[in-house]
Amino acid sequence: MPSPPRRHIVQAEALAWLDANPAEPGTSVITSLPDVSEVAELGFEGWRGWFVGAARRILRWIPPDGVAIFFQSDIRHHGVWVDKGYLVARAAEEEAASLVWHKIVLRKEAGFQSYGRATYSHMLCISQKPRPLPTRPSPDVLPDAGFKPWSRAMGVEACRLACRYLLEETATRIVVDPFCGHGTALAVANALGLDAIGIDIGARKCRAARNLVIDLEAPPGPSR
């Protein structure tokens, strides 16, 4: 009988961990870089520079057969709209990497009026070299991110779309999330048979990420 997929969670600073642990072949990244509010000590301009640098570091870290999928939500900061999809695309351009796809994930229904954080998220897939056209298409706009274990989580349906792309279109066996939070992407990867490694600086987040189980067969619960 095949052994169940593995999940390994490490409490560490993400970029230091990437420096110390070269990626194995068959590794891809699914992640959501922290918002300025999660690293307030950097200040806004410091965070912007850090964000692009961290995305670039991840793009240099993935192996040539892997991809990095970023799930990021725009914010309004002191009257200025911050487009995190742009920041990730800028990192890709600075690394001369290829944007494979860019999807929009709705976290509230279309037409919902909001004042602060955007109610959609960007999901961008980037590889070091251009990739063949997908053999199985997936939606450009995902109408519901799915269940979120906490407010900053990627939704389960967004993670399912990302993992299905890895399974159907790449040779990925291991999903790494260097900013794993409660481990939504890792739990979905395990549910689909992929091994998973998560890194987070917070001890409580690491505990949550070790324990999260997602049943993809369960009827949809509260998702928005």
Ligand X SMILES: C[S@@+](CC[C@H](N)C(=O)[O-])C[C@H]1O[C@@H](n2cnc3c(N)ncnc32)[C@H](O)[C@@H]1O
Residues that bind ligand X (CB under 6 A): 13-14, 32, 34, 38-39, 150, 152-154, 179-182, 184, 199-202, 205
DSSP class per residue in 106-132: ESS-TT---SSS-SEEEEEEEESS--P
CA 62 to chain centre: 14
The nearer residue to ligand X, 89 or 187, going by C-beta atoms, is: 187
Q: Please identify the residue of the shown chain whose CB is closest to the bound ligand X.
A: 181
* Least distance (Å) between residue 43 CB and ligand X: 15
Number of H helices, E strands in the chain: 6, 10
d(CA 136, CA 144): 20
The nearer residue to ligand X, 7 or 182, going by C-beta atoms, is: 182
* Least distance (Å) between residue 3 CB and ligand X: 25
Listed in sequence order, the residues at least 6 apart from 31 whose beta carbon sits closer than 8 Å to its beta carbon are 58, 68, 69, 70, 71, 176, 177, 178, 179, 180, 185
The nearer residue to ligand X, 73 or 127, going by C-beta atoms, is: 73
The nearer residue to ligand X, 17 or 62, going by C-beta atoms, is: 17
* Least distance (Å) between residue 132 CB and ligand X: 28
* Least distance (Å) between residue 159 CB and ligand X: 8
Could you tell me the two tokens for 174?
A: 């291991």
> Locate tokens 């998560």: which residue?
198
The nearer residue to ligand X, 34 or 66, going by C-beta atoms, is: 34
| Beta-strand relationship, 141-142 and 98-106 | parallel
* Least distance (Å) between residue 37 CB and ligand X: 10
